[in-house]
Structure 1
């Protein structure tokens, strides 16, 4: 076997020819300098620094040289590759700076230019008043209860001690779902939610029942066949009319302002006994202006009905009336909105004119 060729001249290897290496460097430097974009520079870089570039091929040939020739050839090829790498790095930095400067110019926003007018959205005031009322009672530790709008006649009337001959059960007041003898109606109040709550839960019960209700009223300034109510129900041991009055006072002060109080006037409702109409002190004149347009000079505004839950209603709901007592009340949300904000016509609330909702903005 022959020994290594110590006289092997690297110049005789074409890839390591100093002139060819210098030409490859000059070509790479010219290409880098001529690149007009980062994408173009990326394509060019592969041809001059990739695995098949002239300098990469020359670098691979160094391994076949005798030890005495490797150092000089390696130094020469390494310097050449270093010059090319520095040139491409410098050109990349220049192109990136040009790109960033161009973006600043092309994507600059003139914040002084007036923007086109865009109409702001607004939530319907019925939703806002409902949430305001819910917040007041949730803040008192109550819960929100909901139920279906298509309801059984038993839950809507019978369980509430409203007998078969009561006028409210006639077709002149109630929407019946066909067939008429199916015992299914569109609920005329949210009281069925109270019955469902008492059937499903054990006392103590503190719930507010807001929702949509239906009655066969003609649409006019003060009536609508579809409107919204909220009803409150409390069932616990030792509940009295004093607790009812306290809850109502807390509610009207939360909705209408500090210092507003309520009064109860005797009345009759089949589902409460004793029963009372709720009057609220006028929050405009506080009873001091005989010419007040809000209360008509009386100093009081009628809100709704209330009373102690009838023993028959508690029994129908599976609650022992000898152990538990409770109170209930009901008020209209549309009426609360009209009173609180001086809305004169019910039709303004439901006709969907965006100008009406926009007057209230996003919250009340």
Structure 2
């Protein structure tokens, strides 16, 4: 049988087997080696060219080249078709939900705020919100911080224009609430605040606060300590200890700062608590009578307390985060730890 006849037989056999070729990788490899491999049927035909007569050899060589090109082209087209069919099989049911591990989670600051809200809601506090852009009166003057008061040097403010500022604390919400309502008042006021500070590991130009206010008859500092002690134990664990240190805030008198025992070293001393065994978490005090004058409350009849805490500060302590900037960078490697 001539090489041309053998080539025609190989071509027919190739097409028949290609048509019935299974879609698995092993079968495809065996098929390719059988026809297009270095020791395959087409290569075997080329090795027989040496036995052809000089007159027939050019034509036979042409037929074999065309056969090899045809087989290569048909095989590649078949493998592309097989890949497409396999891809369709792997697409799956579009009605099914996505992979649960790709679902986002609550931001750690939001989670911390929700936890704080839940704790104070159990104590009867209502949640109110105030404007982020406010007048100088609500942000400073009504809180016993008049113009040229030294206390204004404690915080760098973003001034907009004509006495309008980006609020430096959520205490402005307390003034709005007291002007619109008569006692008793028992609220917390969460929200964003802005200060013109350098961005660093410990500070940012914006952050979040929660202010608390309770005004009623015969409210005492003991009531304030009881509420904050309950909050600390709910937030950081029942074994946590607290202490109150005298401090100064223009809108409260007397004023104090509250510390909790270091939750990282159990008061043995570490770099987070600066080897003191205590962590500062908030400021508080009894509402100053001058604030009652601003909202036309009778300070002889009403008394109350206020407190304020930074949500970032609480989150950093609770989760052991050492850089406040991580909360704002949107890095999924960081945020994914809280899902």
| TM norm. shorter chain > 0.5 | yes
2:169 match: secondary structure: coil
The CA distance in 2 between the partners of 1:116 and 1:146, in whole Å, is 37
Match among 265, 280, 284 for residue 302 of structure 1: 280
The CA distance in 2 between the partners of 1:285 and 1:240, in whole Å, is 33
For structure 1, which runs of at least 5 residues remain unmatched after alignment? 1-105
The CA distance in 2 between the partners of 1:118 and 1:215, in whole Å, is 37
Is contact 2:151–2:250 with CA below 8 Å preserved after alignment?
no
1:359 match: secondary structure: helix
Partner of 2:208: 228
Partner of 2:334: 356
Deviating 4+ runs (over 6 angstroms): none
Match among 179, 186, 193 for residue 199 of structure 1: 179
Tell me how many residue pairs correspond in the alignment.
245
Change in CA separation of 1:188 and 1:117 when aligned onto 2, cut-off 3 Å: closer
- Cα offset for 1:314? 1.2
Is contact 1:249–1:260 with CA below 8 Å preserved after alignment?
no
What CA deviation, in whole Å up to 9, does each residue of 1:57-82 have, x standing for no partner? xxxxxxxxxxxxxxxxxxxxxxxxxx
Partner of 1:81: none
Partner of 1:140: 123
The aligned runs of 1:177-188 (5 Å cut-off) are 177-178=160-161, 182-188=162-168
- Cα offset for 1:118? 5.5
The CA distance in 1 between the partners of 2:222 and 2:330, in whole Å, is 41
- Cα offset for 1:294? 3.6
The aligned runs of 1:332-343 (5 Å cut-off) are 332-343=310-321
The CA distance in 2 between the partners of 1:134 and 1:336, in whole Å, is 13
Change in CA separation of 1:199 and 1:118 when aligned onto 2, cut-off 3 Å: same
1:132 match: secondary structure: helix
Change in CA separation of 1:116 and 1:152 when aligned onto 2, cut-off 3 Å: closer
The CA distance in 2 between the partners of 1:191 and 1:157, in whole Å, is 9
Is contact 2:292–2:298 with CA below 8 Å preserved after alignment?
yes
Is contact 2:243–2:259 with CA below 8 Å preserved after alignment?
yes
What CA deviation, in whole Å up to 9, does each residue of 1:74-109 have, x standing for no partner? xxxxxxxxxxxxxxxxxxxxxxxxxxxxxxxx9xx8
Partner of 2:324: 346
Is contact 1:227–1:334 with CA below 8 Å preserved after alignment?
yes
Give the CA RMSD over aligned residues.
Answer: 2.1
What CA deviation, in whole Å up to 9, does each residue of 1:103-144 have, x standing for no partner? xxx9xx89xxxx979523122111110010000000111100
Change in CA separation of 1:324 and 1:117 when aligned onto 2, cut-off 3 Å: closer
